[in-house]
Amino acid sequence: MKSDPTLLAFSTLLILILLITACSPGTPEAEQPVPVEASETPMPEPSSTATATPLPTQTPTATPQGTRNIPYVTNGQPSQVLDIYLPETGGGPFPVVFALHGGNGDKGEFDAMGEYLSERGYALAAVNFRDMPGYKYPAGIQDAYCAFAWLQVNAVTYGIDPQRVVVAGFSMGGTYAALMATVDDPSIYFKTCKHPMPDLTTIKGSVIYTGVFDYPAAVQGNTVLKEYFRDFFGSYPDEKPERWQEASAVNWLDGSEQPFLLIHGEADGSVPPKNSQGFAARLEQFGIDVELILVPGAQHMGIIYKRDLYESVEAFLAPLLK
């Protein structure tokens, strides 16, 4: 069978067209899609540890008189906080009363006094400390010194004059305040505090409500006090006399102490007034200025809240701090 010349020519032409198409460059290079590169910003890697949730802290709360619940020990115990009362008028720096509460008490015992004094141009720092029954000697006095050191470090922040200070206290706090006013070298009580050693020459006087100044003498004939202080010291006075004597302000007197104001209720059945009377007599023997106020009918607890006594406190402060 003969091939059709026309069909053959058409087939040949079709093959040539297919060959040319297969060998052509196709889409120009400039028009080729550009491959997408990976981003230069690395993806965050999963953390190897979970993010820690901050623990709640006791934030100072502003009040008209100052601040409340300020920690004086970083990451310390809940009791290691203080309140500051500041005058609402005046530019400062203000003289300050450093106040310590009674045993098993709270810094709120000085709330009324803080308001009274702040209205008259004084600051007041009311301190909580580790206390009985959970803590024994010397935890409380260690805290007192540490809070005092904190106050000196932060005086400028709160508008306080660190050179014009009177220490004050009620009951156990009064006992600690008297110790601070008489001990020349506080290093024995300053082993756990992270602040610099405080300058105790800034203490210009002491206001002591119903304190104990000679522990061995205080417990003679007083079974209740003897048992209380046995728990406090971990021994009776004849078992570890050095501890009882070390903590007694009367044993540190040398005549260099600043003036004292002692306040005691005549009807105090917890800490008999003879404790303040005896200490006043010893201060006078050393030539130290002392004023003793015995309040008729006043018992142990109520005396710290007697507003009329604040006038006596202010009268005592004025020549020392103004």
The DSSP string of 89-143 is SS--PEEEEEEE--TT--GGGGHHHHHHHHTTT-EEEEE----TTT--TTHHHHH
- Tens-place pLDDT, residues 151-179: 999 999 999 999 999 999 999 999 999 99
- What is the DSSP annotation of 94-107? EEEEEEE--TT--G
For residues 244 and 252, what is the distance between their CA atoms, to the nearest angstrom?
Answer: 12
| 49 has a pLDDT exceeding 60 | no
Cα 184 from Cα 318, distance rounded (Å): 25
pLDDT at 33: 36
Please give the model's pTM, rounded to 2 decimal places: 0.80
Give 191's pLDDT tier (boundaries 50, 70, 90).
confident
Domains of the chain: 61-213+248-321 (3.40.50.1820)
